[in-house]
Structure 1
Amino acid sequence: MPPPFRISRIHHVAYRCRDAKETVQWYQRVLGMTYTTAFAEDHVPSTGAPDPYMHVFLDCGGGNVLAFFELPNQPEMGRDPHTPAWVQHIAFEVPDMDALLAAKTHIEAEGIEVLGPTHHGIFKSIYFFDPNGHRIELACNIGTPAQYAELARVAPLMLEEWSQTRKAPRHADWLHKEEGI
């Protein structure tokens, strides 16, 4: 039975940062986001725990909001040592390949190492890290309606095969070939 409500969109996604001001300035300068809101408290509203924080919000466009917490009284932030750095990332969409290539040029001019463009069949993307160590992806869609339909068709088959074998199903091998399907 479905739940008695419907989610309309993601309100915001929050990550931790080392320095709120540096993080806001970086996202404004490198990705053109708009800094919109800040909350600061000495106690966590949901738990009442004493833990001072600065919570900053950046408008990513299209109703999407990225937020960060600076937590000065907590141990230094780190990564999950059991999860590779490429797994956890924040992916943003750009309109086309021209924008993706312009972004790469701009980000590299900021002195940031950029990987890609990488071909993913239905999109191409570039990767880099923010000053907090969060991996960022910029992607542009290049897929055709037929490709998206085929991916939707094989998704349940792939998930079922994966759940039984824990080996990569081959239903969508065409994704990583430049010519696609």
Structure 2
Amino acid sequence: MSKHPIKLGGVHHAAYRCKDAKETVEWYERVMGMEYTSAFSEDHVPSTGAYDPYMHVFLDAGNNNILAFFELPNQPEMGRDENTPAWVQHLAFRVGSEEELLAAKAHVESLGIDVLGPTHHGIFKSIYFFDPNGHRVELAADIGTDEQYAELKKVAMPMLNEWTETKKAPRHADWLHEIARAEHGNS
């Protein structure tokens, strides 16, 4: 990998569309504790020159990660890809522990927002809810061991190859599901 000509330094920002920039900023501040850091607003798109007024807002998601949104008032109403299930496309954020995940769930629910989970994924647990734009948000707490992460890395390519050939779930990491089932049975 060291000989690759592109040397990434992380994600600069991930940008999504929003219905209302102010509402979105306020929601992410109140619900997620993100700091609103900056905005750009133009009448013409810098990369294309096209006339399309927009407000582009940026929120600090921690660790130099930025989440951004565009409000596009001259475009058709915002929708979603109806051919993709709502659970597929989502924004996932890391929290520091399972205890923080449970505290986050209590906070989000206290704001009247429906929360699904925690869901046990073997090496992390997650909760899920939707922002005011219909984007699914996930909060995840890593709970796996170094050995488990190493094993997942080892089987990643065989799993991908098997999936490519069969389009059926490969069984290389069934132990993840066993961990989740064992804990669920004990709760």
TM-score normalised by L of structure 1:
0.97
* Residue 108 (1) aligns with residue 83 (2): no
Question: What SS does the aligned partner of 2:132 have?
Answer: coil
Question: What SS does the aligned partner of 1:80 have?
Answer: coil
For residues 134 and 70 of structure 2, what CA distance do their matches in structure 1 show? 14
* Residue 146 (1) aligns with residue 144 (2): no
* Residue 74 (1) aligns with residue 75 (2): yes
CA offsets, 1:97-141, max 9 Å, x none?
110000000000110000000000100000000000000000000
Q: Give 1:1-181 correspondences, 5 Å limit.
A: 3-177=4-178, 178=180, 179=182
For residues 41 and 114 of structure 1, what CA distance do their matches in structure 2 show? 36
TM-score normalised by L of structure 2:
0.94
Query: Cα distance, 1:3 vs. partner?
Result: 4.0
Task: Give the share of equivalent positions with the same residue, in percent.
Answer: 71
CA offsets, 1:14-51, max 9 Å, x none?
00000000000000000000000010000000000000
For residues 118 and 173 of structure 1, what CA distance do their matches in structure 2 show? 16
For residues 72 and 92 of structure 1, what CA distance do their matches in structure 2 show? 28
For residues 35 and 48 of structure 1, what CA distance do their matches in structure 2 show? 27
Query: Cα distance, 1:149 vs. partner?
Result: 1.1
For residues 48 and 65 of structure 2, what CA distance do their matches in structure 1 show? 26
Question: What SS does the aligned partner of 1:73 have?
Answer: coil
Query: Cα distance, 1:5 vs. partner?
Result: 2.5
For residues 105 and 169 of structure 1, what CA distance do their matches in structure 2 show? 35
Alpha carbon RMSD of aligned pairs, Å?
A: 1.3
For residues 131 and 160 of structure 1, what CA distance do their matches in structure 2 show? 38
For residues 117 and 92 of structure 2, what CA distance do their matches in structure 1 show? 14
Aligned AA (1:69): F
Query: Cα distance, 1:85 vs. partner?
Result: 0.3
CA offsets, 1:46-85, max 9 Å, x none?
0000000000000011100000000000000111011000
Paired residues, what number? 180
For residues 82 and 121 of structure 1, what CA distance do their matches in structure 2 show? 28
Aligned AA (2:51): P
For residues 97 and 123 of structure 2, what CA distance do their matches in structure 1 show? 12
For residues 112 and 154 of structure 1, what CA distance do their matches in structure 2 show? 37
Aligned AA (2:72): L
Aligned AA (2:43): D
Gapped regions of structure 2 (runs ≥ 5): none
Question: What SS does the aligned partner of 1:79 have?
Answer: coil
Aligned AA (2:168): K
